[in-house]
Amino acid sequence: MPREEPLLTPRPSSEQSSIRNAEEEDALLTGERTRRPEPRRGWGFWREIGLFAWALIATIAVIVIAVVYQHESSWAQSHSKESWGPGGKPTGKRNLIFMVSDGMGPTSLSMTRSFRQLTEGLPADDTLVLDKHILGTSRTRSSSSLVTDSAAGATAFSCGFKSYNGAISVLPDHSPCGTVLEAASLAGYKTGLVVTTRITDATPACFVSHVNYRQYEDQIAEQEIGEHPLGRVVDLIMGGGRCHFLPNTTEGSCRADDRDLVAIAKDKGFSYLKDRKGFDALNGGTEAKLPLLGLFAEGDIPFELDRRAQNDVYPSLEEMARSALRILSEATEDSEQGFFLMIEGSRIDHAGHGNDPAAQVHEVLAYDRAIAAVLEFLEQDSTPGVMVSTSDHETGGLAAARQLHTSYPDYLWLPSVLANASHSAEFATKELRNYLKEHPDTDKSAQEAYTRELLKKALGVQDASQAEVDALLDTNNPIPSSYVFADIISRRAQIGWSTHGHSAVDVNIYASSSKAAWPLQGNHENTEVGNFLADYLDLDIGAITKRLQDSEFWSAGAEAGAESQSQTEGQSFTWLGDPLGDDVRTEGIDTYHGDFKKRSFLGDECGCGAVH
């Protein structure tokens, strides 16, 4: 039955309906389908096309404007005062203290914190001063390796550029790059370096000198006292490394030539200190005269674990830091500019290289005390300032855990073992060497008795095995006795090490104020730390780099200078030292070359952590 449509069903308009009905009738009569002519495209059609095109163009324009606006807003925000956090970037006179905990990784803090809690009877929630000021982390790779050395690491801090392992403030093409300390000095800031290693070692060297390879320490020393294309740029130097400043005709010298840099420094106006007596004469910094050269050890200042028993011979890192801060503060009291001071806890790194956990916890504690001294200074000083601290890398691949046997390990590490040590493995090694040298004809039983007593006295180890004693006395043992001493205490404390070298782990960034060091929050390349230092002091390091690269040769006025210049005339940047050979990688990460097969230690597990 056909469906009946409602009476009120809408119908097409009469005009359109009549046309359609006529077409349908023609089709029924002729049997052919009638094609309707295409409607004429008048103004309405083109109007719709125009509106669509306009809408499309407008949409695209809005998207482009939004993207550009967002990009410009992000750039403006990153370059505005807001990127420095509340209050914006500091202005006016200010001080910057940059501290480097050479070789200290995150596990160093964990180990030291637990050690301190045990030895001082502190609760589990007690922390180090450093723990209260952590701000971010730093990635440490160099231009030539995922595992940096101190030279490339410090070049990133001083210049804000990546370079190859071994480079002292030079770029991969062996051209010099300006440093934050040089720029600060030329901008009117007073500058200083305080370290516990040789002042010619990689980290301090990168702030005041430029050489192609870190082992050119004689040349580094020359530049530090002002034989430099920019002239003298450092006002205060405290640390070790006296041997590189003395002529090779003098006892205690390690120079390759007979130049007396101490005498030259004095002629340039430096006041010179060589011992604890001279340091104490500074009276905490109130009796100092700049420029000042303080070389308190022939080589490195002893580990803090050993130095504390020789306090009348060597000043501590904290003491040097306090005096340096006082000296530079008073020197800039009436100046429009403040000061830049680099302080390094240098020998944390050496304890890591030696895999000596007892030495390392005391080095970290000494660094923590220096941090506290700097924070105290910043609180009391009338000039605004900031302290930023980080590490150039981690050393040793330290783990606060160790599996001693093939069976499933206990979850332990024992700081009490480290608390029993009164000296470092380095100290014990020197003592044993001196004994064997002075008693060459002593029978083996007497040597063994001395060695066991030394282990008790220096490391607090009462239960040395015969194999351990034999390893220390074996003159043909390829493993250095210092490594054996360190492993003896590491195994008992159940502290693990993966290398005697560096690792690629990210390291922490600390600051006295998150407000003042706002841009360093989060994870950063180490070059960003260097960029922050220059930016905080409003320094143009690029201009310093240009001046250095435009310099042909320096004119130090020393006898050796003219001879050196004549021998190398025509070569670029010869004052940087002999360029490295073509086989030295300056850029690009190396690949696997079958090293495991070449240096296999399968079946040769000695437990000493030595390189095989």
Contact assessment for residue 387 and residue 99, using Cβ atoms and an 8 Å cutoff = yes
End-to-end CA distance of the chain: give it in Å, rounded.
101
Enzyme catalytic residues: 150
Contact assessment for residue 202 and residue 344, using Cβ atoms and an 8 Å cutoff = no
The DSSP letter of residue 397 is -
Determine phi and psi for 607, rounding to 5 degrees.
75, 10
**Quick one: tokens of 180?**
């934050």
Q: Which H, E and C letters describe 450-503, residue by residue?
A: HHHHHHHHHHCCCCCCHHHHHHHHCCCCCCCHHHHHHHHHHHHHCCECCCCCEE
199-214 CB burial, b ≥16 within 10 A, e <16: bbbbbbbbbbbbbbbb
Q: Which residues contact 201 (CB under 8 A, 6 or more apart)?
A: 150, 195, 214, 217, 241, 300, 346
Beta bridge partners of 503: 394
546's enclosing H/E stretch is helix 541-550
Beta bridge partners of 343: 99, 194
52's enclosing H/E stretch is helix 43-78
Residues belonging to the chain? 612
